[in-house]
Chain A
Amino acid sequence: MAAETELTPTSYIDHHLTYLTTQVSEGSFWVLHVDTLVTSLVLGVISFGFIWLVVRKATSGVPSKTQAFVELAVEFIDNEVKNTFHGNRHVLVAPLALTIFVWVLMMNAMDILPIDIMAWVTENVFGVHNWKIVPTTDVNTTFALALSVWFLMIFFNIKVKGLSGWMHELFCTPFGKNPLFWILNLLFNFIEYVSKPLSHSLRLFGNIYAGEIIFLLLGMWAATGVSGTIFGSILGAGWAIFHILIVTLQAFIFMMLTVVYISMAHESH
């Protein structure tokens, strides 16, 4: 805790929601959230490193338990992708879905770690103050993922349909080819293309951020004494158990939306 300032609920929450930043260059945009970036990188390296180690020793014979576990995840995702995407999914879409699911799941799962204990660990073990351990509560992360997917979507739109085909689709759907509708169609598609990355990223961000805030609010029960601490702990445990569902579900939804957006880019209307 920041002992030098007076501890109020607002300062407690503010404290937990402050990023560890570094100024990369001049201007308010050139700020880097070191905690978000490093945590997500570490999680990514751990999870994909683990999968890679398993895959390197993968056998087509009787699999080991870890290989069976990884295969379970891969086949689950492969099935989901197969049901939605009808092109050759092994080139990009299925591995992309795996990347998103695993990475987002890991980043979301950081939310279940007790927030004050983790703050203590990062401060006293790693010696860094203000370390936010949940990368997906940073809107930069979710926007980075959603915008990457958005660019992939546009890339595939142009690749599959050609620039003219895509333009035709922008002007002639959903209301028809009549030139009277061109502006309306374009407006419609514009809204769609803007809303896609927004809803995609803000859904994940909102769910995880809200979960984090609720953990913080429950954590504040500790300020009311011993019984409040016990009560808050019970509620916190319940919320954490429920949060396992949210964490997985949000990772899954994010993955499915990615697959759906990219499949839509492959299909003509």
Chain B
Amino acid sequence: MNINFTLISQALAFSVFIWFTVKFVWPPLLRAIEERQKAIADGLAAGERGRHELELASQRSSDVLKEAKQRASEIILQAEKRATEIVEEAKRMAKEEGDRIITGAKADISHEMFSAKEALRQHAAQLAIAGAEKILRREVDAKVHADILVAIEEDLK
């Protein structure tokens, strides 16, 4: 328990160690710690920002999706409308065409009928003439009796 020169030497050693710590130990370590703290804080801030952006993006994507769905249903609606229009148009055209064909056919038929009647009439006239020839048992001069033949023909009409 005696105070002696050891005290002074220890105080000197102490001051050297303090100087060493102040000069060489504390500042670089503190710098490293603070830099890391800053990096961590930056990282956290970036993460927060990313989260926010993700939120915005998902909001935007759902908006886009909603709009696209709406557009799609509109398009489908239009397409259906158009399809019925086309079908109606086709029906109408088909009906017209059919009517036209029917009309043509009817005209053809009446024409055929007319020409058949004509042919029949001629044929009948010839038959009648042939019959008359046979009845008269003589040759009828066609030139002489043309007026009679025409008259018969006229009758058969």
**A residues bordering B, Cβ < 8 Å?**
24-25, 28-33, 36-37, 40-41, 44, 48, 51-52, 55-56, 58-61, 63, 67, 70-71, 74-75, 78, 90-92, 94-96, 98-99, 103, 135, 138-141, 143-145, 147-148
Give chain A nearest CB distance to B35 CB in angstroms: 3
Which among A71, A78, A144 is the interface contact of B11 at CB below 8 angstroms?
A144
- Contact partners of B25 in chain A: CB under 8 A: 48, 51-52, 55, 95, 98
Whether the pair A147, B31 counts as a contact (CB closer than 8 A) is: no
- Contacts known (A37-B13, A41-B13, A52-B20); A141 close to B6, Cβ less than 8 A: yes
Q: Which one of A31, A78, A95, A139 contacts B21 once the chains associate, using CB atoms below 8 Å?
A: A95
A78–B32 Cα distance when bound, in Å, is: 14
Q: Are B28 and A37 in contact (CB under 8 A)?
A: no
Our pick among B1, B4, B14, B29 for the contact of A71 (Cβ within 8 Å) is B29
Q: How far is the CA of A74 from the CA of B28 in the complex (A)?
A: 12
B13 touches A147 (CB 8 A): no
Query: Is the CB–CB distance between B3 and A140 below 8 Å?
Result: yes
Taking A59-B32, A95-B26, A139-B3 as contacts, is the C-beta distance between A147 and B11 under 8 angstroms? yes
Known contacts A60-B35, A75-B33, A30 near B4 by CB under 8 Å = yes
| B-side contacts of A32, CB under 8 Å | 4-6, 9
Number of A-B contacts (CB under 8 A): 126
B114 within 8 A of A: no
Instruction: Report 8 cross-chain contacts, Cβ distance below 8 Å, ordered by A residue.
Output: A29-B5, A55-B25, A58-B32, A90-B30, A92-B18, A103-B14, A145-B10, A148-B15
Q: Which 8 pairs of residues, A with B, have the shortest CB-CB distance?
A: A60-B35, A144-B10, A140-B6, A95-B26, A144-B11, A58-B32, A140-B7, A33-B6
Residue of A nearest to B37 (CB): A60
Decide yes or no: A148 and B14 within 8 Å by CB, A30-B5, A32-B6, A98-B25 being known contacts: yes
Could you tell me if B10 and A140 are in contact, using CB atoms closer than 8 angstroms? yes
* Neighbour of B6 across the interface among A37, A95, A99, A148, CB < 8 A: A37
Q: How far is it, in angstroms, between the C-alpha of A32 and the C-alpha of B13 when the chains are bound?
A: 14
Contacts of A92 in B (CB 8 A): 18, 22
Interface string of B12-46 (1 = CB under 8 A from A): 01110110111011111111111110010000000
Over the window 126-149 of chain B, the binary record of Cβ atoms lying under 8 Å from chain A Cβ atoms (1 yes, 0 no) is: 000000000000000000000000
Given contacts A48-B21, A56-B28, A95-B26, contact A24 B15 (CB under 8 A): no
Give the CA-CA distance A184 to B10 in the complex, in Å: 35
CA distance A29 to B29 in the complex (A): 41
Task: Answer whether A31 and B17 are a contact pair too, CB < 8 Å, given A60-B32, A60-B36, A148-B11.
Answer: no
Contact status A60-B31, CB under 8 Å:
yes
- Whether B6 pairs with A103 at a CB distance below 8 angstroms is no
Find chain A residues with CB under 8 A from B26 CB.
74, 90, 94-95, 98
A210 to B4 alpha-carbon distance, docked (Å): 21
Interface contact B36-A144, CB-CB below 8 Å: no
| A176 → chain B closest CB, angstroms | 37
Q: Which residues of chain A come closer than 8 Å to B29, judged between CB atoms?
A: 55, 58, 70-71, 74
Q: Within the assembled complex, what's the spacing in Å between the Cα atoms of A52 and B35?
A: 19
Could you say which residues of chain B place their CB within 8 Å of the CB of A135?
10
Residue numbers in B under 8 Å from A52 (CB-CB):
20, 24-25
* Known contacts A41-B13, A51-B25, A148-B15: A61-B36 contact under CB 8 Å: yes
| Min distance, Cβ A93 to any Cβ of chain B, angstroms | 10
